[in-house]
Amino acid sequence: MAETMQAVVCYGPYDYRVEEVARPEPGLGEVLVKVGAAGICASDMKCYTGGAMFWGEHGSGGYCEAPVIAGHEFAGRVVALGEGAAERHNIASGDHIVAEQIIPCTACRFCQRGQYHMCEPHVIFGFKSRRAEGGMADYMIYPAKARIHKIDPRISAREAAYIEPLACAIHAVQRAEIQPGDVVVVAGVGNIGLCMLQAAKRYNPGALIAIDTKNYRLELARKLGADVVINPQEEDAVAHIKRLSEGYGCDVYIEATGSATGPQQGLAMVRRLGTLVAFSVLNERASVDWNLVGDQKELTIRGSHLAPYCYPLAISSIADGSIDVKSLISAEFPLTDFAQAMEAARSGENLKTLLIPR
């Protein structure tokens, strides 16, 4: 009889089930990993609640292919290696490893140009049935084409689940091209926003400003390096930024609110010739004054997607303590308590909620 494991299987919006499923076996070039911890991401919450990006406008045609084992924030230890996997990935049994969230095809125009994070098939763990089962399980497979990194032994199993979101935060900050002395706004200081804040500090901004509607997040942002914190429900955030910048506006605005009002706030807040980095995954369409981008301000607008080439820096930053993720982990649940974990994550009263397999 085949061995089994527990897994959180997504069947559709609000239909995630903890099930006993067959434990996978690694094939050619593949790695079987015992998952140490898995994080619940904002995109997991939006998929769970039926966001159009994941399920389509009318319940079909979206990004998620159910049924699928959920989870793209994970790490674990090697327990079995398929033929050729040790040599292919330079790993051995017992190694603590993480795979990047995307599994590049290696053949499309983007992969061929080194832009693998924009791979055309775009297979991401936890959303694509049969091709990329996710990490909310006792065990998971890293496919042969997965981009695998060894984890510094100073990093705990729980911190390792933060490598993926931190890497995404680092990429967004890199896209901003912050210059010394810049007035930098990170709007939305949840899990990834707080990582962005810490990553941005390395560029010696003149002022580093955190914006959020949750005061407990703003308090933590201040502890982690924010010079100024603003709750837009309590004061006029745009006016505050203008006062701080001699009336010009911020040089850089990183949009991580997840709210459809965030992009317009950024366009109003950033100075002429400034830069706006769009990171959020929105559940609804945003309405903006497009004239601010061109005719009025000639802005640089940059998207940020996934974390190309950022995993090594994320790993070293957690290992040497230069970026603190431990203080962002606020709740953890056994895999069997997925429903309670998702409720805790969606409450807005926690930062990172982790699932711990048995």
Q: Which domains does the chain have, with CATH numbers?
A: 4-162+325-356 (3.90.180.10), 168-303 (3.40.50.720)
Residues 189, 268: Cα–Cα separation, whole Å:
19
Closest CA to 164 of 226, 117, 119, 105: 117
Interhelix angle for 311-319 vs 163-176, to 10°? 110
Work out the percent of the chain whose per-residue pLDDT is above 90: 92
Distance between CA atoms of 324 and 119, rounded to whole angstroms?
Answer: 31
Each residue's pLDDT tens digit, 48-71: 999 888 988 754 568 899 999 999
What are the residue ranges of helices labelled H in 235-291? 237-244, 262-269
How far apart (Å, rounded) are the C-alpha atoms in residues 253 and 278?
9
- Give dist(CA 35, CA 23) in Å, integer: 12
pLDDT surpassing 90 at residue 282: no
333 beta partners: 355
Adjacent-strand bridge partners of 186? 210, 254
User: Does the predicted model carry a pTM greater than 0.75?
Assistant: yes
pLDDT confidence of residue 104: 97
Residue type, 48: Y
Half-sphere exposure of 53 (CA within 13 A, CB side): 14
Which ranges of 202-292 does DSSP label H, i.e. alpha helix?
Answer: 215-223, 237-244, 262-269
Q: Where do the DSSP E strands lie in the chain?
A: 4-12, 15-22, 31-39, 68-69, 73-81, 96-99, 139-142, 148-150, 183-187, 207-211, 228-230, 250-255, 270-278, 300-303, 329-334, 352-356
pLDDT tier at 284, thresholds 50, 70, 90 = confident
DSSP state of 129: T
Quick: pLDDT tens for 157-174.
999 999 999 999 999 999
Average pLDDT, whole number, for the chain?
A: 96
- pLDDT score of 207: 98
- If you count DSSP H runs as helices and E runs as strands, how many of each does the chain have, helices first? 12, 16
pLDDT at 129: 76
